[in-house]
Amino acid sequence: MPVRTTRIPKTFRFTAALCALVASSVSAQAPTGYHVGAGVVIPDSLVEVFAGGRFRATLLRSARTPHERELIALAERLYPDLETVLAALPDSAYRARVLAMASGKPGVFKVAQRDAGASGDRWWLDHFDATWLPFAVTGGTVDYYLGRLRDLAAGRSPFVLSPKDNGDSGAFEYQATVRPTSDADVAYIVELRIRWDYSCGSLCAVYFRHTRVVWFDAQGKPVRITGDGRPEVIVS
């Protein structure tokens, strides 16, 4: 399947040295039940259009200062421990299913699937139609869905699509924002938002949005995380 890609300039300024500096300075700074995982370099601004416009990816990380950019990077590197994921699931059968998929490796699926990220840096909860569903919005989450969209645009779909369905289509959006606060205990709030939309014509569809909010104190330490959990997923 022919793929057409259009990009706008990648304005990110994360060099390997800066990523290493951030990692060393915040290695122990994670709320209870979380850890600072592997860094994933994500462009501040990116638009990709594939397959004649049927697929589109948009990334936008809005930071006004280097400090705000570092806060976004840290918010993207906070991964829930497996115990945190399991504790959010009230149903024992669901917990067992999550444990069975603990590795996040491609062998879980009968169709072609990409790795969900670094071992131990779990951001996913479950899967639907061979696509991981998120528990948390992290750098690994963004990297996965961008790659998954590229796979689908290139024809690596788990379905055999009939001509009458006019092919499949999809979109992935990611937005990261920072805003200062006047709260005595919180200096900055970082929001990470994703939207996934994939349709296989009359055969199938999956749609969801998910948002993570991370509160930072004046020293740049994350003090609270909300939003992580089972997403609202619309399927057909």
Written in H, E and C, the secondary structure of 87-99 is: HCCCCHHHHHHHH
Q: Please tell me the distance from the alpha carbon of residue 205 to that of residue 79, in angstroms, as a whole number.
A: 28
* Residues 236, 225: Cα–Cα separation, whole Å: 31
Tell me the pLDDT band of 118, cut-offs 50, 70 and 90: confident
Q: Which residue has the higher pLDDT, 128 or 142?
A: 142
| Alpha-carbon gap, residue 65 to 62, rounded angstroms | 9
Q: What is the CA radius of gyration of the chain?
A: 18
Single pTM value for the model? 0.84
15 — pLDDT class (breaks 50, 70, 90): very low
pLDDT of residue 110: 55
Tens of pLDDT, residue by residue over 88-107, are 998 899 899 888 887 676 66
Q: For residue 109, give the amino acid letter.
A: F
**Per-residue pLDDT, 55:** 94
- pLDDT on residue 202: 67
The Cα–Cα gap between 120 and 227 comes to 20
The predicted model gives 154-162 an average pLDDT of 69
How high does pLDDT run on average in the chain? 83
* Residues linked to residue 58 through DSSP beta bridges, in sequence order: 47, 173
